[in-house]
């Protein structure tokens, strides 16, 4: 099912490459099947098209984390928190603050796993 949806989103992108919602939909389909690098690329495109799209920062950070890029994920969430603060997206801000705190705790715990 996801492959059909991916193909549908790709066809829409071919027609509307500047529509951030289409890219966001494609990213969500990639996430469903754990194609993290593809999701990352699509989410970066969303942010390039609409820098205040806070949900894209949330998912991009998660996609990066799933690829083992913890420091970059933290940076994306930090940027997303700043964007959410400017746009008034308080729920997205709270969510990213929680993700960031969890990533910080995991990183701190990893220091003691040697």
Number of domains present in the structure of the chain: 1
pTM over 0.85: yes
- pLDDT at position 28: 97
> What's the pLDDT score for residue 107?
56
CA angle 60, 79, 31 (to 5 degrees): 10
- Contact present, 96 and 80 (Cβ < 8 Å): yes
pLDDT of residue 80: 97
Determine the pLDDT at residue 105.
74
To which H or E segment does residue 39 belong? helix 36-49
* pLDDT attached to residue 110: 46
- For the chain, list residues with pLDDT below 70: 1, 106-114
**Residue 70 belongs to domain with CATH number:** 1.25.40.10
Q: What pLDDT does residue 108 have?
A: 53
Domain hosting residue 62, numbered range: 2-110
In angstroms, the CA 76 to CA 62 distance is 9
Q: What's the pLDDT score for residue 104?
A: 74
């Amino acid at each position: 099912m996801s492959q059909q949806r991916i193909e549908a989103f790709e066809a829409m992108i071919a027609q509307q490459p500047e529509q951030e919602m289409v890219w966001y939909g494609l990213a969500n389909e990639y996430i469903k099947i754990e194609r993290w690098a593809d999701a990352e690329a699509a989410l970066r495109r969303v942010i390039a098209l609409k820098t205040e799209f806070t949900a894209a920062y949330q998912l991009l950070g998660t996609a990066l984390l799933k690829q083992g890029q913890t420091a970059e994920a933290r940076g994306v969430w930090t940027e997303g928190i700043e964007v959410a603060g400017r746009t008034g997206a308080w729920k997205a801000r709270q969510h990213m603050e929680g993700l960031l705190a969890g990533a910080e705790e995991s990183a701190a715990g990893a220091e003691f796993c040697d």
